[in-house]
Amino acid sequence: MKMKRRLKRRPTAGSEAKAYENIEVSQVVQENLEHLKNILGESMDVKILFFSDRPIPFVVCFIEGLVNKQQIDLSILQPIHDWQDGEEDVIPEKLISQIEVSSAVSKHQLFGHIITPVLKGQVAVFVDGANTAYTIPLEFFPTRGIDEPESQTTVRGPREGFIETLQINTTLLRRRISNPQLRFKSLQVGNITKTSVLVAYMKNKADQQVLNEVMNRLHNLDTEKVFEGGMIEELIDENGYTPFPTFQSTERPDIAAAALAEGKIVIMMEGTPFVLVTPVTFISFFQAAEDYYSHYDLSILVRLIRLLSFGISIALPGVFIAVTSFHQELIPPNLLISLAAQREGVPFPAFMEALIMEVIFEILREAGIRMPRPIGSAVSIVGAIVIGESAVAAGLVSPAIVIVVSLTAISSFVSPYYAFSGAARLLRFLLMVLAASVGMYGIIIFMLALFIHLCSLTSMGRPYFTSMAPFTDEQDDTMLRLPFWWKNTKFYKKWKSQS
């Protein structure tokens, strides 16, 4: 219900701008020319070429920089000129069949159907005497080369990453899945930006219900602009109030391909190297691509380490505060004594100490991301030396809290998905407040609430915490990454036949 309310928003984009959409293409090419000039205006990159002195006058319209101009000369203008010069009985209907392009030429009667393709790099041709216009795909624009993904690196595994160009991204997927069942459905999102969005899925694998749900939500999406998957994610997510991401955003084609092969749905869009995978589960945020490329025993260890680090990054400062200010009897005597020695002369309570250090760390982290590259070393010197060491030496905080905060910070970088560590980052502060006010009791209450919340989440209508709750038989790739031959083992077969 929450979801529907958020999706059914009133149209926002100005309706006067839509007036052109229903203008029909006229038989008189000059009229069309006028319409084009009205709609596209005097922009310098809009090229409207009117060949009026030909037997059949025609107009070619395209956006400079989005199309291959050489191809226009060679494949469109040249053949038409040759044909008009050579033939005797030139009729408008035959003009378009003269052009020599490999991609499909589409016919349109309404300007509404012509303008958007033109803006996306197609060439429009209006012919005098015909009440149809043609669009010819001749997109050509500079793209970035395929690079190694920066946000998700692996030691072993492919080094290709998605880029900002949709077409190249689909190629990257196709090259990994050469299967006719791989389908891409296209649609446009954003009343202003008209961004191309593709929904990729395996027809025989994907859950039809989930697919319909995704398409439905994307169609109903009413927004002015989208530039990144995150903007779509927030708008079509059914869980409004949760710190946990319910879409996986990845820039690795191998992850996206694996998700497709598992029957998940991938949402890709023009202009960002990140694609969205849905539906996802809680545990899938602990599954890195490398888990499947290295030997299973190592993967099991690494995945357990990842779960541990997630726990640390949520709870360590909270637990430290609770234990040192409420439950000192839990600390081994010698550790307690050395913690107490560090605290001698520290003016703030443990909670304030932790909060100060956490906030300082968050500031450093944000500065580290946002600052211009050349300043980097200055920030790290100030961060590491001045704040780490001098804060202790000045008696502002105790050394133990520096260890706690830095361990927490390092743990939060272990998650293979950046968005997921953000959840831990937010919840950490809440837990610290609870721990500082009611101690371990607060931590337990928090954990209970957290698990209840996780169990109540859904991703595209599918339970988020599944394979743990609701518990399923498919446990071979959850907390542990069991070997690929797991299902052929005697143990598994026996267990399966018994249950």
CA distance 280 to 263: 11
CA distance 490 to 496: 10
- Least Å distance, CB 278 to other proteins, is 28
Do the beta carbons of residue 259 and residue 472 sit within 8 Å? Answer: no
1 makes contact with other proteins (CB under 8 A): no
Nearer to other proteins, 451 or 471 (CB): 451
Nearer to other proteins, 49 or 386 (CB): 386
User: Of the candidates 407, 438, 455, 468, which one interacts with other proteins according to CB under 8 A?
Assistant: 438
Site stretch for other proteins (CB under 8 A), options 51-59, 198-206, 292-300, 391-399: 391-399
CA distance 206 to 191: 29
DSSP structure string for 190-230 = -TTT-EEEEEEEETTTS-HHHHHHHHHHHHH---S---SHH
Site stretch for other proteins (CB under 8 A), options 126-134, 345-353, 369-377, 470-478: 345-353
Do the beta carbons of residue 64 and residue 45 sit within 8 Å? Answer: yes
Site stretch for other proteins (CB under 8 A), options 175-183, 219-227, 387-395, 459-467: 387-395
User: Of the candidates 40, 434, 443, 450, which one interacts with other proteins according to CB under 8 A?
Assistant: 434
Q: Distance from CA of residue 127 to its chain's centroid? A: 42
Grouping H, G, I as helix, E, B as strand and the rest as coil, residue 133 is strand
328 makes contact with other proteins (CB under 8 A): yes
392 makes contact with other proteins (CB under 8 A): yes
Residue in 358, 344, 342 with CA at minimum distance from that of residue 432: 358
CA distance 101 to 404: 64
CA distance 355 to 256: 38
Site stretch for other proteins (CB under 8 A), options 184-192, 273-281, 416-424, 430-438: 430-438
Pick out residues in 136-175 that bind other proteins (CB under 8 A). Answer: none
- Least Å distance, CB 348 to other proteins, is 9
Pairing relationship of beta strands 458-459 and 275-278 according to DSSP bridges:
unpaired
Pairing relationship of beta strands 182-189 and 122-127 according to DSSP bridges:
unpaired
333 makes contact with other proteins (CB under 8 A): yes
User: Of the candidates 255, 357, 387, 436, which one interacts with other proteins according to CB under 8 A?
Assistant: 436
Torsion angles phi and psi, residue 466, rounded to 5: -70, 170
CA distance 249 to 162: 12
Rounded (5°) CA angle 445-309-429: 45
Do the beta carbons of residue 244 and residue 238 sit within 8 Å? Answer: no
Nearer to other proteins, 226 or 321 (CB): 321
404 makes contact with other proteins (CB under 8 A): no
- Least Å distance, CB 436 to other proteins, is 7
Residue whose token pair is 């920089």: 65
Nearer to other proteins, 143 or 437 (CB): 437
CA distance 138 to 206: 33
Total residues in contact with other proteins, by rule CB under 8 A = 30
250 beta partners: 275
CA distance 476 to 350: 42
User: Of the candidates 36, 269, 339, 431, which one interacts with other proteins according to CB under 8 A?
Assistant: 339
- Least Å distance, CB 220 to other proteins, is 24
- Least Å distance, CB 316 to other proteins, is 17
356 makes contact with other proteins (CB under 8 A): no
CA distance 146 to 162: 7
341 makes contact with other proteins (CB under 8 A): yes
Residue whose token pair is 């080094």: 159
User: Of the candidates 182, 315, 350, 450, which one interacts with other proteins according to CB under 8 A?
Assistant: 350
User: Of the candidates 196, 309, 324, 421, which one interacts with other proteins according to CB under 8 A?
Assistant: 324
439 makes contact with other proteins (CB under 8 A): yes
- Least Å distance, CB 337 to other proteins, is 5
349 makes contact with other proteins (CB under 8 A): yes
Grouping H, G, I as helix, E, B as strand and the rest as coil, residue 163 is coil
337 makes contact with other proteins (CB under 8 A): yes
Pick out residues in 442-481 that bind other proteins (CB under 8 A). Answer: 442
Give residues in contact with other proteins (CB under 8 A): 324-326, 328-329, 333, 336-346, 349-350, 392-393, 395, 398-399, 434, 436-439, 442
